[in-house]
Structure 1
């Protein structure tokens, strides 16, 4: 059987995708442990020397040392130290006659300065490992602390990992070595004093990846997705539209469920995006990265539906029946309304169950996770638009007039208005209804002249809805946090609550 050119191209896409993924996975075989250790340990050494230089410059300045002795009584100078040094991962404790006077962090509180030697050394305490730089001046002792590695009292899991300090190294494959380890990279201070050794973690292949591997894997997934998109489009053009749509949906559903359960992508590339400590909502969205991939998969499938929206048709006997047409309109209207409630709950969880900064007023300080969340929000609004347009398109041939459609819409809006008056009235559903009305007007009337005004109103409505919901969600989150802190203040067993409340 002779294959057509189009079929050959489709299968080449599949072969290319599988080859890219196989290449990405096999690249680990060509990188040795020694190379990885040397590469990541050198970064730790460089960053640590930079921090030591900052501390040495401080200690060589007698005026700064004199200021440090007054930090416990001069709040302005103490706050100046916090602003300048703590962002670099450098903390300070001052002692007078071995009694603690000032501390810039509450993470370390059980140090006895008399047990620490002068100069540079490493201490190992309950919550982590730190380099200590000790300077004695008269009856005052200055202890500078540089975090090296976290340490949890519970066994390591996906939530608690004993990783290197983020300001020292972003590597997830190295850890401090013990006396019995062989392949070790020695970390030394500026005066060539041995501080500690680094080694590769056991099972490092599960955590190690390069940017090349990541992009090869992503490119492979995209090629496979394009293959299925092209295959389903071919099936749809041959008259099996519903089967093609269900096949494409099954591809995405199976792909996402297997990834969530078996981690063929998010476990292979332990990106920060997939860290449940940043965001976790449910079994289907255990991380922000999974949330993004779910939304991307849903958007791609809806775009497939949108591109074939003219082909979706009801049987002629359904098109001729007035009552069936009205019922279909009601069902679709309720469906789009339910989506609004679902999205409302979804993004409340994104704000309430995450550590992501959504303060878009200071746009320059938004993190990568913040931008990912904004992209997710835009894609979800786009999905609602696609669902609305497709719903409108498949109802155009029904035996229902635009006047009857308008009456149904107004009746539904009135019912929702009364329901919200009784429960929790907000402007969100009013603006949401206006969005649906504008999209419906554009689609049903099919105006020949493109209306910039209507499009501007549409974007303004989406931005306004996003804004009022964000303000409400933020207020709810802040109230819950204040309530928790207030309860802690009432407990005499939690002295750190007062400190947390003052932040």
Structure 2
């Protein structure tokens, strides 16, 4: 599988590499354009639909279908637009190209391929303009606006599009291969390959399968051969990966991947990017996990060391442990402070992919570090037995290393680390908290929470340090009161004022009335929106420097002096007053000129003085009108600040209650003061300014949220590890039917609890977010309705006062007046909203946000879907979702009608910050749910332990009774509850009663059968010697009766024979007696070597058999009855000797080894072996393969061995010999 996925990855890499060549990119544009033309070809074939466009008889589905087309459709009748499917761009068939053949059309919004068509089925004067987007271009880029080719976003935007062919140009062709236009690519801006989501998924799978294969191979080497072979293989792979990545950039050109971009994160030559840190963390965890799983952790346990060596090694081990922890913390420190990654997870919508990657890296490093500390602490425990000496050594070494080295640059975090390490060493000594291979065991959940709690504290600390540095920089910038957004925005305003014909007309013919109107014009057109944060003052002077109806007495020369003393900005007409102490930080000088470029002359001077208001709120200027490179105060969310000059407040933001005067004098440059729920920074500058920056400081909430994220990621890591282990076990299993995993009752309860928590989190989270989103939209709709009603009333009142509601003519005349524009702009500024007013035809008349239309983000026409709903469907109020680039917002519409019901125009209020506010509130919900369920997850883990113990404790009563079950006597279980266990108990009690009855019958039957069998066997054994005894006595009687001459000699022989037979009967009786009863055990501790040596010595003198004894290399003590074990050994040795045929040179080998915690004794002979039909009966009483004997020897041997918790087995080969094995537990030193 690894080879397959790597093959797919490299095939896709090759495919994408070819796709970014100039020829293939031109081909991609051709295909995209041809596809769009084919779609239009299908659409134009629907004549009824096209006719309905011109007859204004479209249904809602028609409008939706037309609006979803990937090209623009504009319908004209006699050069008047009657339909459009997009308000992004507006084109006509008057501006070239205007032919059916089509050609390139350019405007501020991008480059298009334009065609003008007059289908035959249309009426005279009806015409269609079709606009196929080639490149979408914005005047600037930010989070919402991105310029790109429509065919593919990887094609460079600055590619030149030409209508004529030139050298190195690539043609974009139609379906017939005819060139439509040409692309000229710049070699310096050719795209580089970046992996997409599919490619990333394939590579991840390839890596996982590769790791699995290598892990499986290394694990088998470790288990089958030696640990070091598997470990060296793993290390070789790790080194190979490192070399490939660092020196060759494999598997792909990693420098082009954002994850490996050093601008995101870099701290050293090794950790040169976030991707390198992630790779090293994973490889490190792989190695240490392999060591723990396949190597002996207590490697020093079997090494004999003197006291001095132990202490030296203990000091080194403790030092390594502490230095490693310092390094671990330093990596986290650099990850937070040396990167552009935000680890502030208290706002869900601010979390980026790199935040999750960073937290994942922290989780991996933390897990690996915990394993390393565990390994080192194990060695330290072996070297120093006394707990308190170990703890003292950790403290002393930690303090010593902290004071004599710079391993930890921060004192507070070093003490925290030392405390955490000491507590961890103490907890590792608790038996109930010992590590388990089960990652979801209660103690492992505890360790995960313990380690993550420390990691949270470290991350939170460095987050706080990073935030303090950022706040100081923010305060320094605020002290200057320089605003990038102000400077950027004023660039176009200055140019517009300079070229404004009304302004020029005033300077040509000044007057008080004109001056009042001009002031209104400045407020309405130029100094609203973002500039509401300033108290603006416009000062006008004629060419000679004389004031023109100014409200201020400042002279022209005084203002010129201010300008000269100020600093230039990147805006031509705006100047920054760095050392201003009166909040007047910006001043603009705009010369008003007339004439052509060769003969221009100044007719007046305009100055705009901008002073920051004492209290300013958030700017209503849309975020999408600001380039991504511009960063203003808006990026410092959560900050409130006040600026003081000579200890007096001159400006502030938000509603925070800053004091008017500062009472205490700041002696140092900056100072942080912590309050309950907030943090304050006071910064003093050289020009008698003091800046106070406040921030809500919800330490506990932020810490809990961070802990929740880390804990969640750690659980995901555990789950992945579990599935990976199961997958590995599946391939490592010995047979197809072998179980991979078995779940105990406790495990099933545990998994059920955690599963319920996880599933409920997903379900409740999704339902809550969906419900809240619905509620938010409903509330927004009601809010929009109220705002719209207010704006509608104010607008209608203004129009009625000016008699503009009679008909379209009077309405159009009034709304085209400049004073109406001032009114709309003033109303928008007062309500802090944006207002658009459209004519009844759908063409924009006036807007409070000219910047959107001046920058061609929209054409000056209404949204087509809204227009259809208002005109055709007759909606009285409409709210719908709309988009500018990637910004989603809510937009409301309301028709303006006179008393006769005639529609005169349409009001539109776009709510640009709606998505941002929704995301912010959803963020709060998600963070709250994550915190809640992290707590519930931990609580469920703890409760599961007690619940499972409670349930299994109930079951243990039944289990204990089961374990004591016997056929002789049992007691019923008393269970007071009527539940499922009660059913089990009642069934058990019924079974016990029945079993006792059956046991009595069985015992009686067995006793009778045993006595019958015993009687038969005894009779048989006694009958055998009685027959020759009877014959001998009869023979003796006959000899006495007949007076045989050798009667005395015969009597002597008969007597001896009788005595021999009587002794045989006595032996038989003793054997049956010994088998029938088990002698009282007299256990003692003795050495097996000595016992077997004495047993073997009895047989060494037999010349026909050679007996060899292989002793154990050291004393092997057992605790049994010595005499019984001696009988067992004698019996087995005698059987081995007797099993050897007389014609064969006998050899018996007795040996002692160990098998686990047991002693293993083997009796091996080269006799005739045991026949197959006798193997199953070899240990049965009375069974024997010899011509003599009782058949009770092996049965008695088995009975004795099993009584002492041992085992007996044999291996035999017929005709070659037999080996009997017995095991006896080795004494553990606790026997009395």
Q: TM-score, normalised by structure 2?
A: 0.27
**Larger fraction in helix:** 1
CA offsets 1:385-433 (integer angstroms, 9 cap, x no match): 1111111233443353323212212323443676699x96643223322
Match of 1:136 in 2: none
From 426, 429, 444, the counterpart of 1:444: 429
Deviation at residue 362 of structure 1 after TM alignment: 0.8
Q: Structure 2 residue aligned with 1:461, among 429, 454, 459?
A: 454
Whole-Å separation in 2 of the counterparts to 1:217 and 1:347:
27
Deviations 1:460-489 (A, max 9, x none): 333222211221233345557877999998
Paired with 2:198 and 2:184, the residues of 1 have a C-alpha distance of 25
From 362, 366, 378, the equivalent of 1:381 is 366
Task: Tell me the CA shift for residue 382 of structure 1.
Answer: 1.4
Residues 1:492 and 1:148: Cα distance change in structure 2 (over 3 Å): closer
Q: Is 1:473 paired with 2:466?
A: yes
The separation in 1 between residues aligned to 2:274 and 2:70, in whole angstroms, is: 29
Measure, in 2, the Cα distance between the counterparts of 1:442 and 1:309: 23
SS of aligned partner of 1:360: coil
Tell me, yes or no, if the aligned pair for 1:485 and 1:501 is still in contact at 8 Å: no
Number of aligned pairs? 387
Partner-residue secondary structure (3-state), 1:380: helix
Q: Which structure would you say has the larger Rg?
A: 2
Contact 2:137–2:148 (Cα < 8 Å) also in 1: no
Kindly indicate whether residue 351 of structure 2 is the aligned counterpart of residue 359 of structure 1: no
Query: Which residue does the alignment assign to 1:146?
Result: 138
1:105-138 alpha-carbon deviations (Å, 9 max, x no partner): xxxxxxxxxxxxxx9625xxxxxxx849xxxxxx
- 2:259 corresponds to: 273
Q: Aligned partners of 1:210 and 1:502: how far apart in 2? A: 34
Kept in 2: contact 1:322–1:399 (CA 8 A): no
Alignment check: 8 A CA contact 1:48 1:168 kept: no
Shift of 1:178: 5.2
Question: Is residue 334 of structure 1 aligned with residue 326 of structure 2?
Answer: no
State yes or no: 1:231 paired with 2:217.
yes
Aligned to 2:294: 308
Are the structure 2 counterparts of residues 404 and 327 from structure 1 closer, same or farther at C-alpha, using a change threshold of 3 Å? same
Q: Aligned equivalents of 2:297 and 2:355: distance in 1?
A: 39
Q: For residue 659 of structure 2, what is the aligned residue in structure 1? A: none
- How far 1:258 moved relative to its partner? 1.6
Q: Which residue of the other structure, out of 198, 204, 229, is the alignment partner of 1:218?
A: 204
Would you say the 8 A contact 1:121–1:195 is kept in 2?
no
Corresponding residue SS for 2:138: strand
Q: Which residue of 2 aligns with 1:61?
A: none
Q: Shift of the alpha carbon at 1:367?
A: 0.7
| Separation in structure 2 between the aligned mates of residue 276 and residue 48 of structure 1, nearest angstrom | 40
Return 491-500 or 304-313, whichever deviates more: 491-500
Q: Is the 8 A contact 1:206 1:268 kept in 2?
A: no
Q: Which residue of the partner structure matches residue 274 of structure 2? A: 288
Higher relative contact order (CA 8 A, sep 6+): 1
The match for 2:760 is none
Q: Write out per-residue CA displacement over residues 53-94 of structure 1, whole angstroms, 9 at most, x where no aligned residue.
A: 56669xxxxxxxxxxxxxxxxxxxxxxxxxxxxxxxxxxxxx
Correspondence 1:172 to 2:151: no
Change (3 A) 1:250 1:22: same
Rate the CA distance shift 1:336–1:168 in 2: closer, same or farther, 3 A: farther
The CA deviation at 1:256 is 2.1
Residue deviations 1:151-202 (CA, integer Å, cap 9, x gap): xxxxxxxxxxxxxx8564784354524543544559xxxxxxx999587989
| 2:285 match | 299
Decide whether aligned partners of structure 1 residues 352 and 494 sit closer, same or farther in structure 2, where only a CA change above 3 A counts: farther
Superposition CA RMSD, Å: 4.8
Aligned equivalent of 1:323: 308
Unaligned runs of 5+ in 2: 37-68, 73-84, 91-104, 112-135, 174-179, 435-441, 483-564, 579-629, 635-1232
Partner in structure 2 of residue 370 of structure 1: 355
How big is the shift at 1:354?
Answer: 2.6
Could you tell me which residue of structure 2 aligns to residue 401 of structure 1?
386
**Secondary structure, aligned partner of 1:447:** helix
Q: Distance in 1 between matches of 2:244 and 2:566?
A: 45
| Alignment match, 1:60 | none
Q: Where does 1:237-256 land on structure 2 (aligned, <5 Å)?
A: 237-238=223-224, 240-256=226-242
Q: Distance in 1 between matches of 2:272 and 2:286?
A: 21
Measured after TM superposition, the shift of residue 372 of structure 1 is 0.7
**C-alpha separation in 2, matches of 1:495 and 1:210:** 38
Counterpart CA distance in 1 for 2:245 and 2:413 is 34
The residue number in structure 2 matching 1:92 is none
Q: What secondary structure is seen at the aligned counterpart in 1 of 2:206?
A: helix
Cα distance in 1 for partners of 2:210, 2:447 equals 38
Q: Determine the C-alpha separation between the residues in 1 that align with 2:26 and 2:400.
A: 65
The verdict on how the C-alpha distance between 1:287 and 1:488 changes in structure 2, with shifts beyond 3 A counting, is: farther
**Contact 2:285–2:364 (8 Å) recurs in 1:** yes
Q: TM-score, normalised by structure 1?
A: 0.61
Provide the rounded CA distance (Å) in 2 between the counterparts of 1:483 and 1:261.
42
CA shift, 1:342, in A, is 2.3
In 1, the alpha carbon distance for the partners of 2:418 and 2:141 equals 52
* Pairwise CA distance, 1:297: 1.3
Q: 1:323 to 1:342 in 2, by over 3 A?
A: same
Alpha-carbon distance in 1 for matches of 2:283, 2:474: 34
**Counterpart selection for 2:332 from 347, 364, 376:** 347
What residue is the counterpart of 2:823 in the other structure? Answer: none
Structure 1: 5+ residue runs without aligned partners?
Answer: 1-15, 58-118, 123-129, 133-143, 151-164, 187-193
CA contact (8 A) 2:254 2:260 kept: no
Change (3 A) 1:307 1:487: farther
CA contact (8 A) 1:131 1:148 kept: no
- Counterpart of 1:20 in structure 2 is 5
2:1105 corresponding residue in structure 1: none
CA distance in 2, matches of 1:492, 1:251: 60
Q: 1:252: how far off?
A: 1.3
User: Are the aligned partners of 2:266 and 2:338 in contact in 1 as well (CA < 8 Å)?
Assistant: yes
Decide whether aligned partners of structure 1 residues 366 and 30 sit closer, same or farther in structure 2, where only a CA change above 3 A counts: closer
Shift of 1:208: 5.8
Q: 1:203 to 1:211 in 2, by over 3 A?
A: farther
Residue 416 (structure 2) aligned to one of 431, 454, 464: 431
Matched-pair contact (CA < 8 Å) for 2:171–2:181: no
Please say if residues 278 and 356 of structure 1, whose CA atoms lie closer than 8 Å, have aligned partners that are also in contact.
yes
Alpha carbons of structure 1 residues 492 and 304: separation in structure 2 relative to 1, 3 Å: farther
